[in-house]
Structure 1
Amino acid sequence: GKVGDLAAVETVIDTMSAGNVALDEGVYGELIVGGLVNGQTEKAVKGIKERGASLKEVHRIEALKEALLRKVGEAVKLLVKLFPEDVLNDPSIDPVFRNLCTELLQLERYETVRTLLNELPVPKFSLNENQDSYGVSIIFEMVKQNVPLPELMKMVNFLIKTERNSRALHVACDCAAKSRIEMYPKLLEILREQEDLRPHYFWPLIAQSFTKQGESGVLDVLKLMQRTKTEADAETLSVFVLPKLSVTLKDVRLALKQFEDRGIRISTLMTPFVSHLLYQNRFEDVSRVTKLYPAKLNTESLIWPLVLQATVNKSTANFKSVAEVVRALQDKAQDPKHDLGGQLLMELISNKKSKHDQGSIKALLTQFERHQVQISRVCVNVLKTHFAKSKRIDAEVDRLLKVLQDEKLTLPSKELFDSIIVHPRDMTYDELECHLNELEEKNLNTRGVLRRLLQLCVRENRLDRAVIIKEKCDQARVELSSGMLASVFDLHIKRKSVDEAGKTLEQIRTTFPGFLVDDHKIIDYAALLAESGFLPNARKILKQRASAGLRPGNANRNIWNLLTKTAQWSAQSEPTSTKNHTADLLNFLVDLNYCTHDNTLLGPVIREHLLKNQTQAALASFKRIATELRRTPLQLEIFTTLVKLTNSNDPQIPPDQAKALLADLIAITSKIHGPVNTNNTLIVALADAGTEPQLRRILMNPETRVNHEYILTQCEFLVNAGKLNVVLRLAKCARGLANVREADFLAVIMKQYVRDNNCEAAVELFNRLQADDAELKISGDFARKLIDLLEVNSYEVPSEIRLYAK
C-alpha cells in the first residue's frame, strides 16, 4: 500500500479472507497508513473511526505524520484523540510528539508543526511548576537547524499567543546563545522591544565575540548593550569584560574613556576595574585611578586581590605598596567605617594558604603605621591573641597595635567570631592532638586523651598514628579496657598483622571472658586469615563466635569481604581447581546463622570462577543459583561477558553458543526480575561490551521499556568502577529517543563527582562534553550543579560554565 500498488493490497486481503485469516490491528494500521499515502483519505478516515482505538502506537504515529504532511485535518484530529490523556496533557510535550515534530522540522514543514501543536491541549501548569518548558525542544531544533528568523518568530509568537509558553522568546534567545550565536543579537533586539534586557543576556555574545574578533569584538558588544539601553553590572565587567581587554587596559585613562563612551557609569565600573588592576599587581595604576575619579569603592569586594598580592610577595617594598593602596582605597570607601586593613590582616593570619608568620605580619603593621592605615579594636584583639600563642609579642608589636587602633572602624559581621570550648569527648582528631600536646607540655595526665585518641585513630584508619599512640599508652601504663583491646585487635587486622591480631584476641578472651567482640571484627579477622591461606583457622574462629549468638544480616558487608578474599586466595593458590571454596564457605556461614543466601553474598561465588577464567563454570553456577535460589549474582557482569563473547572468536565459547547462552539466561532472569529489568541490564551490558549499533537498536525498539531508576542505579555502579565511557555511550545512544533521557545519565556522573568533591574530573567531563560538538547536551541544571561543586571547594569557575548555567 505504501508504494501505491493498491491492486496487490486488494489481492492480499481477498486471499486472507478466503483462507479465513482475520485482519489484526497491524494489518488495519498498514491499510490506514497506505490510504493516507495514496490519497484515499475518506477510506483512511473511515478506518480510523472504526479501528483507531485498536491501532498500535507505531501505526498511530506513522498515520499522524502522513495526515499532517498531506493536510488531512479530519484525520489529524481523530488520530490525536487516540493517544492517552497523560501523553496529550504532558506540560513539556510528550516525547512521542516531540520526535514527530523533529522529523517535520527536518523536512522544513514549519507550519505543519504548528498545526500539530494546535491540536494538542493547552497545558495547565500548577503554581510551583516550570511554565517555560513547553516547546523548548522544538525551538532548540529550529535554532540548531538555523531556520529563517521569520519562521522561528512565527513559532515563538504561536506559543505565546496560544498561552502555551509565555517565555518562548526567552527560550529562543537561550537556545541561540548556546548553539547559534549569530542569530542571538537579532533575537535580543526583538526581546528589547518587549522588556528591558539584563546584563547576563550578553555574556555568551561577549565570549563568542572575543573568540572571533578579539578585544574589538568585546567593545562592540558593549556598544550593542548601550544601544539596547542595558547597563553592564559589576559581575559582567569583572568576569567577562575586563579579563579580555589586556591591550585596551594598558592605558587606564584611555580605557576608562572608552567605557564611558559605551554608556558604562564610572560608579559601576570603578570597583571591578580597581579589583582587576589589583589582581594584576598594578598598584601605581590603582593609586592614579583613585585620585583622578571621585567614584566610591566597595572595599569589601577588594579584599581578596589584596590578600593575593600580600601573599605572593612578602618583601618590604611590596608591603609598602600594599599599605599605600589600602590607604588610598580607605579614602574612597563607600563605607568609611569599614576596616579594610584589619580585614586584610585577619584573612592573612587565618588563611592557611597564605603562610604568613609573625615577622611578616609585623612588617605589614609597620608599613600601616607609616601610611596611616588604621585598624579596628576587634582586629587588634585578634592580633594580640595570635602573637601571644606563638610567644612572639614584644613591646614594638604592642606599640604598633595601640597606635593603629581606631574605635570608629568595624569589621563585617562574618569576621566576628567567638571561641568555643569543646569537651574532649566531642573533640575532633585535630583538637585531641592539640589537647594532647598541651597536656604533655604541662606534664599533666594524658591517659584519658590517649584512650580517646587511640580509638578515634583506629576508627578513622589513621593506622600509623594509632601505633604511636599505642606505644604512648604502654609507656604511660594506661590500663586497657575491653573496648580499647577490641580497638587494638581491629588495628592489627587493618594492618594485616595476623599473629598480633591472634594474640590480642586471646588476651581479650583471657582477661575479659564475658566480653563479646563485635561479630564484624571477628569476620574481618577471618577474612585476614583467609587472605593469608589459613582458611581452616578462619572457620574455627567463626564457629566459636557463632556459639555466643548472632544477628543475621548485621555484617553482610564484612561477610562479602571475607568471601571475596576467599575467592581471590583460591584463584591464586588453586587456579586450575574446579572446587569452589567460596561456595563452601558461604554455605558454612549460612549454617552458622551469620547470613542467608543473599544476592550480594552470592557474587563472590561467581567471582571465583571468573578469576580462574572458568567462564563455563561461572555460567553454570549462575544458572543453578537463578533456578534454585531465584537469585542473580553478578548478573550485569555475566551478561557483559556473554555480550563480549558474541562479538569475539573465543574458541571455548563461539559467538553462536554465546548468543544461545545469553538468550537462555535472559529467559531465566526475566522470570525473576521481569522482562523490563532484564532488558535494562542487557542495555547496560551492551553499552559496556557491545557495539553502538547494537545498543542503539535495542533503545530504538518501541517495545523496549526502560526502568529509569533501575538503569540509573546500574550507571552509579559503573561510575564508581571508573567506567565513565560506558555511561557516556549510553547517554549518546539515548539522545533524541522517547523512552530514555540522556540528561539523566550525565546527572548520575555529576552526582558521583559531587559526592567525591572531585572538581578536576567534573571540569574534565564538562570540557569533554563541550569538545564533542554538541553530541551530548549540557543542561543548565548540569552547569549549576557543577558551579556549586566548584564554589564549595573554592575552585575557579570557568566563564564558559556560567554561560550554560544562565
Structure 2
Amino acid sequence: MKCCGPLVVDHTPKARQLLCVAIFAKLKSLNLVDVQHYNTYLQVSIENKMRINYTEFLEQMSCEPNEQTFRLLLKAVCEVGDIQQAFKIVTAMKENKFLANEELFNVLVLAHAIRGGLNGVAPILKTMQSAHVSASDNTFRMIIRGLALYGDKAEFMKSLRMYSNVIQEKDFIHLLMVLGTKGFHSWFSEMIEITGLKQISKQNAEEFTLLCIALIHLGNSEAALLYYKQFVEPSSVPTGDFAFPLLHEMVIAQIEPKKIIDVISDLKKEDSNTVALERLLGVALKEGFMDTAWELLKAVTNIRPHYFWPFLLRASKERREIGVLGVLEEMLKMNVRPDGDTLEYYCIHFCDTEDPHQLLVRLHKLGLTVREILTPLVSFLIKQSRIDLAVNLCHQYDVALSAHHVLPSLLKNWNFKTDVNNIVVILKKLIVDAHDAVSQVLVKVLKKCNSLDQLKFYLQLVQALKLEKIDINPTVAEHILNGLRSKEPSPILKEIESLICQFEGTSIESSAIPHPRDMNLPELENHLIQLESKGMETRGVLRLLINEHCRCGNIERVLELRKSFHSKGYRESAGMKTSLMHAYIMNDHLDDALSLYSSIKEQHPNFKIDEFKIVDLACLLIKSQQFTRALEILKYEAQFRRIQGGPQLVKNCWKLLGACEDEMELQKLFSMLIQLKYCTPSNIILGPLVKIHLKKENLDKAVSVYKECVTNYKCTPLQLELLSAVVRAEKLDLMQEVLNYSAQVHGSESMVVPCIASFAQNGLYKILGKFLLEVSAISKEEMEKRCERWVYENNLLALETLAKACQPLRSNVIDKPVLYTSIMKIHSINNDCEAAVSFYRELVRNEIEIPKNVSNELLQLVQRCKYELPQELA
C-alpha cells in the first residue's frame, strides 16, 4: 500500500487510490488487517489527496483505532480544509485524552488557512499560545502551503515574505507542486524573487524531475515545462535530452498530440532540443500509442520511407495485409512514396502473394505505380523460388526492373534448375536500368559452377543470351575466359569459350567502375558530390543529372542543378534545352517552356526536337487557351523535316486531341495531325472526336461522328462507352444504329458481348435477362475477357448485374463459375470481407453450386485480413 502514493508519479492520484483500495480490500478478505494496515491506508489516502469520512471510517474498522489513527484522520480532513470534521476529531481525541501537541495544531492551521486565509489562521495561532505550544518553522510552512491552496495571491505572497527564511529547497519544490496542481504556476517567478532560490541543487534534482512528471500526469504539463525551463539549463544535459523526460511522460499520459508538437516546436526554435520529435516518435511507437505516433510523424519535416517501417510492422501483426495497405494509404496521403525496400520487406512480405498479379492490382489501386511495385514484387518472388510468376509479371508489364534491387536477389537465390528462358526475361528487364547486369550474372554464376551439369546450364544461358542478341563488353568477356581456363578442360568449356568470343559488345567500361552514363539517379548524385569534393570537372555529370531529373519531372532539383551549371560557366546544349523544355511542359510551366523553345530555334536552328515533345508543347498551349499558337508550332515543325509519327506518338496525340474543348477546333486539329502525319486514324486517335460529344451528352452527334469513323476509317472508337451512354438514355434507335455500323467492321456475332456489357454496366438486369434469352451464341472467350476487364476496372455493378440477369439461365449461356469468381476477386482486391461473406451466403441461400475458385479466394481473403468467419461458414 505504501507504493500506491507519490512514488507512482506516472499515475493520477485517483488511479493510485483505486489500486490502494483494491489491495486493502484483498487484505480484509484474507483477515490479515490490523490497526497498522488501517493507519497505512490513511497515510496513502492523505498523500493521494482523498477525502475521508471520519465517522464511516471508524465504523468500518474491524479493530480498535489507536492514537496514530486519530492523528492521521485529523491530518486527512485538514489536508482538504474540512474544518467541521476536524472539530469532531479533536473532540474525540480530547475524550481519549490524547495530547494536543504542535503536530495537531499545525494541521489545524493548514485547514483554517485553506478555508479562511490569514484571517482563519489567527484564532488557531492564538489558541496555540494559550496552550503554551510555540509556533515553529513547520507551523509557518503549513500557513504558506494553506494559503497557496486558498488561492489568494496577495495573502500567499505576504506570508511568503513574512516567513521566507523557513523555506528550504525541498519546501520550495513542494510549494511548486501545490501551485502547479491548483493552476497558479504563474506565481512562481515572484516566489523566486522572494525566496532567492534560483536553481535546484543536484541533491534535489531527481525530486524536482519527479515533481514535473507528476504534474504532467495531473494534466498540467504547462506548469511542468515552465518549471523545467526555469531550473534546467540546456547545456547541463546531454544533447537531445533537454526536456525529453517530460515529453516522454506527456506521451505516456496521452496528452493531446498537438500540445506535444507545440512544445517540440518551441524547443526547436529555442535551439535547446532539435531532435526531440524523432526520438519521441520512437517512444510513441514503442509504447503502442499509435494515434499519437501518427500525429508526431505528420509533424516531421523531411519524412523518409523508413519512418513508416514500425507502423507497417505493427499493422501487419494486428491486421496483416489490410493493416499494411492502410499504412501505405496514409503514407501516400502524406506525399511520401515507398522505396523498394519498404515495399518488399515491410509490405509485400506481409501480403497475400498467392496471386501476385492481384496483389499488384491492389497496390496499384492505392496509388502506387506499376514501376514502383514491380521491382520489389519480382525480387520477393525470386527469393521465394517462384521465378515463373515473376516472369509472368514481366511479360504483362512493359516496365524496367531496378538492377540494384533485383540482381542481388537473383544471384543469392540462384538455382541451376531454373528455366534459362525465364532468367533471360529477367535479365532483359534489368539491362534497361544497368548495362552491366548480364556481365555481373555471367561472372558470378561461373564461380558457382562446380559440376558438369552446372556448366551445361551455363552454356544454355550463354546460348540464350546470344540468341537474344544481348552483348557483354570485352573486359568482362576476358574475365570470363580467364575463369573458364581455371576449370578442368572439357568439350563444354570449349563450347562456352567459343560463344564468349563471339560476343560483339563495344563498351569499354569495366563492370566494377561504371561510366556515369550507366549510373542511376542516386549513383549520379553521389558521383557529383565526390567530384565536387575533389575539385574535379562536373560538367558531364551535371548534364546527365539535369537530363535524368527532367525525365523524372523533378523540376525543383532541375532548377538547382541548372543554377549550379550556369554558375560554373557551362553552356547548355540543344539536347539539354529540349529536356528542360519538356520538364517545364510536364509541370505546366508554359512560359518557361516557350522561352526555351524560342531559344532552341534561334541558337540551334538545325536541331530537331523530338516529335513527342512538340506534341506535348502543343497540348499545354491548347490547355492554356492558345489554340492558334499550338497549330503554328505543329505546322512549323513539319515544314523542315519529315514527321515520323508511329506508335510511340499515339498516346501524346491522343492527349493533345483530348485537350480540345471546342468541336470545330478539335476537327481542325485532327485533320492537321493526320495531314502532317503526326498520327494515323485508329480507335485511340478517333476516340476524342466521339468523347467531346459524350461529355456534352449530345448522343445524336456522338453517334453521327461514330458512323463517320466507321465509314471513313473502318474504326469503332469508344464503342462500349457509346453503347452504354445510349442504353443509359434509353435511346434504343441510336443503340441499333451503333450496333449496325459496328457490325460492318467486326461482324454481327462480335456485337453480343458489347451489348451485354452496355446493359450490365448500367445495372439494367431485366433488359439484359431478356437479351440473353434471345441471343443464340455468346463467345466464351470474349465474355471471359470482359469479366477480367471488369475485375481490372473494379466494376462490381456490371458483374453483379450480369449475375442477377443470368441466374435463371442455363450454365451453357454464360460461364457462371468465371462470373462468380470475378465477383469474389473484386471483393478480395478491395479487402472487403463483409461483402465477400455476404456474396458467399447469397450463393448458398440460392442453392448455387459454388466453384472451388470462389471458396479459395474467400479463404485467402479472410486469412490475410484476420477476419473471423461466421460459424455457419467456418
TM beyond 0.5: no
TM (normalized to structure 2)?
Answer: 0.38
TM-score, normalised to structure 1, is 0.41
